[in-house]
Structure 1
Amino acid sequence: MATKRPAQPIFTRSSWLKPSSKRVRGLRDRLRSHYGRPVAAPHGRPLDELVLTVLSQSTSDRNRDVAYLRLRARLETWERVRDAPLSEVESAIQPGGLHRQKSVRIKNILHALGEPLDLAWLAHVPVGEGRDHLTALPGVGRKTAACVLLFALGQPDVPVDTHVSRVATRLGLLRPGAGFVEMHDGLLDLTPRGAHLELHVNLLRHGRRICHAQRPRCEVCPLRRACPQIGVAVR
């Protein structure tokens, strides 16, 4: 019985080179041809987005949304969420999974923000300043901060989750073995002007639909001719 060869990266950490802007634009265009060009106006509610992103961790979009809507229905304002007993918040967000950990994180964030409970001012400061403020909050990392800046305020940032990091690494956009901060900085630096939302959403879609962690569907991949398949097992 033949044995499968282990996954071997085509590029090593030392041999990886930053891709050209032409290559990045080409990949963006191929993804656009396959998935379309996503458009979503910033909704202007950064604190809502912050809590929603905390709820999204390690769960499905549907469960996240159910948990968020239950929380807002039971405790209508963020002040009430902050001041409510922990058990009430846990109960409200239970459908989202990890409700004990997430309830503590949400309340810690709301307490750390102080008064007033508002992040609208982030729209009026440089992106880097807003990012630094968000990542200084308890339990808030680069991905969560990027979601707030991009989806709520329309500012240039690219959230890097497991799907985005996997696809971007296999395509050679990111250095194999890069840490989380390096991945965010690297993808942000590579993203063409004005394409932050598009690149994030389409890399995410590609990771969910085709470029799976296990058994990626390379045979139907629209990027197969341009993909070095870094880290993909050779069959």
Structure 2
Amino acid sequence: HYGRPVAAPHGRPLDELVLTVLSQSTNDRNRDVAYLRLRARLGAWERVRDAPPAEVESAIQPGGLHRQKSVRIQAILRALGEPLDLAWLAQVPVIEGRDHLTALPGVGRKTAACVLLFAFGQPDVPVDTHVSRVATRLGLLRPGAGSEEMHDAMLALTPRGAHLELHVNLLRHGRRLCHARHPSCEACPLSRACPRVGVPVR
């Protein structure tokens, strides 16, 4: 229905890490505006790390929650130490890379999975609100499952090499049809097979 997404790993893990922090509780457009303003005003990540907090806040304001996100971004950059480089994650097992990322301040499984999948093409599946909602309604995830359980379950059921495709297409489905409040079940290509877990009867 949505086709097979094509997105080659871009090899910029630190960019992906900051971009994912900026994406929280906002849409893609506002996230991108905030990211581009941050890079245009401060440039290198070392300058972002060392800048007065007010400068970072001002740059990322279009992304929403700018005070919280600026604190988190600078804390992550400081925790990384010198040099500011995560390229080595491409050379280690996924579990090792995931553990390193989730040890950073405010970095959870979804953010770590975004870095590993989009920067390096490694086998991980980010589970955001759209993915978790669709997968739960399809009966793939336990209702009320926590982040760790959801990510482990998605990894267990994802066919080899299909991590990007599964994530992107569940995300698209959640945005286009399987909405949180009023899912368009009548237009859904999965409606005949979907148990509609947690979907109110209308």
Which of 79, 98, 122 pairs up with 1:112? Answer: 79
Cα distance in structure 1, aligned partners of 2:144 and 2:15: 33
Which of 1 and 2 has greater Rg?
A: 1
Structure 2 distance, partners of 1:91, 1:213, is 32
Cα deviation for residue 177 of structure 1 reads 1.9
Q: What whole-Å deviation, never above 9, does each CA across 1:171-222 have from its counterpart, x for those lacking one? A: 0111122111100000011000000000000000000010011010000000
**What is the TM-score with the length of structure 1 in the denominator?**
0.85
Cα displacement string for residues 119-170 of structure 1 (whole angstroms, at most 9, x for unaligned residues): 0000000000000000000000000000000000100000000000000000
Secondary structure, aligned partner of 1:212: coil
The residue aligned with 2:162 is 195
Corresponding residue number in structure 2 for 1:7: none
1:182 matched residue in structure 2: 149
Number of residue pairs matched?
A: 202
1:223 matches 2:178: no
Aligned match of 2:44 in 77, 96, 103? 77
Cα distance between partner residues in 2 of 1:233 and 1:139 = 34
Whole-Å separation in 2 of the counterparts to 1:178 and 1:104: 28
Does 2:26 align with 1:66?
no
Alignment-derived partner of residue 134 in structure 2? 167
The gaps in structure 2 that reach 5 residues or longer are none
3-state secondary structure, aligned to 1:82: helix
**Cα deviation 1:22-61 (Å, max 9, x = unaligned):** xxxxxxxxxxxx1111010000000000000000000010
Partner of 1:38: 5
Q: Taking every aligned residue pair, what percent have the same amino acid on both sides?
A: 88
- Equivalence for 1:157: 124
SS of 1:35's equivalent in the other structure is coil
Moved >4 Å (runs of 4+): none
SS of 1:81 mapped into structure 2: helix
Structure 1: runs of 5 or more not aligned: 1-33
3-state SS of paired residue (1:225):
coil
Measure the CA separation in 1 of the matches of 2:45 and 2:59. Answer: 13
Matches of 2:70 and 2:182, distance apart in 1: 35
- Name the residue aligned to 1:6: none
- Name the CA distance, whole Å, in 2 between partners of 1:55 and 1:140: 12
Separation in 2, partners of 1:55, 1:177: 25
CA RMSD of aligned residues (A): 0.5
Distance 2:200 2:43 in 1: 49
Task: Give the corresponding residue for 1:95.
Answer: 62
Letter in 2 for 1:65: D
Query: Is 1:232 matched with 2:199?
Result: yes
TM-score scaled to structure 2, two decimals? 0.99
Pair 1:147 & 2:139 matched = no
Equivalent residue letter for 2:75: N
**Which has the higher relative contact order, 1 or 2, with Cα contacts under 8 A spaced 6 or more apart?**
1
Equivalent position SS for 1:226: coil
